[in-house]
Amino acid sequence: MSYIIAANWKMHKTAAETAAFCKAIMQEEQLFGDFEIIICPPYTALSTASAALKGSRIKLGAQNLHWEPKGAFTGEISAFMLGEMNVSHVIIGHSERRHLMGESDDQVHLKVQTALNNGLIPILCVGETGQERDNGMTEMVIERQLNSVLEGLSDDVASKMVIAYEPVWAIGTGRAASEQDAEDAARLIVQIIDHRLGRAAAETIRIQYGGSVTADNIGLYVTSTSLQGFLVGGASLETDLFSSLIQAAREAVKG
Ligand code: PGA
């Protein structure tokens, strides 16, 4: 199964900066082998990125969507609008949305269903806060977040999903999870999928780790048998950093 590395730019980069990044990263593309690379700029740069990435294997992702097709939802964007921009992936339930914007498990569930129903691949983020970890609630939180999304999804539809384990305490802190912590969480996710959707789905759904991933530490996670990719924030913002991170992962995979 090929690795999937997604760049989550959050609220960074203008359209002009996005165009410059895309042009530069496309020059490096032959170094990425069969890795699937996805860039998720802010909404305002999607159109620019879509045009800039034409002819490239690098895919385009969004950072959120609304579950309604249209209507009076000021500030929201629909799946159809994203499709029009050639977006193939969409990050859903990122901890910054759950914790800073108050996004609930129910809303995350609706968003994942909407993405899948509209041919978009959700990158579903799950993960515990530092306090939840300290209180021994890591497994419980992952189970709750994942089970609420899997509710009502058939195995063939859900199999298209990507799931990112992103412990909140590791995001943007420089304190990445240990390879054992990431592996334990990824294994738990595989178990839950296996239990709810069956073996085939558990073997198909790819699991990413996210949280302070850099070119220096990415090789550690590649030994994990349950992880097949990464969701990268800070280290995806500069072309050379992002390119060397992907290459470091490739080197580690090759052993
Ligand atoms: P980080 O962010 O790599 O800057 O920790 C990861 C994320 O939020 O997806």
* Dihedral over Cα of 129, 134, 137, 138: its sign: positive
The percent of residues above 90 in pLDDT, for the chain, comes to 97
Determine which residue's CA is closest to atom 3 belonging to ligand 1: 233
pTM: 0.98
Question: How far away, in angstroms, is 56 Cα from ligand 1 center?
Answer: 24
pLDDT at 255: 79
3-state class (DSSP) for residue 150 = helix
Question: In residues, how long is the chain?
Answer: 255
Which H or E element spans position 247? Answer: helix 239-254
pLDDT at 225: 87
* Ligand 1 site, residue 127, Cβ cutoff 6 A: no
Average pLDDT over all residues of the chain: 97
Is 143 tagged catalytic?
Answer: no
Q: Work out which ligand 1 atom sits closest to the CA atom of 231.
A: 9
* pLDDT exceeds 80 at position 1: no
Contacts of 45 (CB under 8 A, 6+ apart): 13, 14, 15, 17, 18
Question: How far away, in angstroms, is 104 Cα from ligand 1 center?
Answer: 20
* Ligand 1 site, residue 215, Cβ cutoff 6 A: no
Q: Express each pLDDT in 179-190 by its tens digit.
A: 999 999 999 999
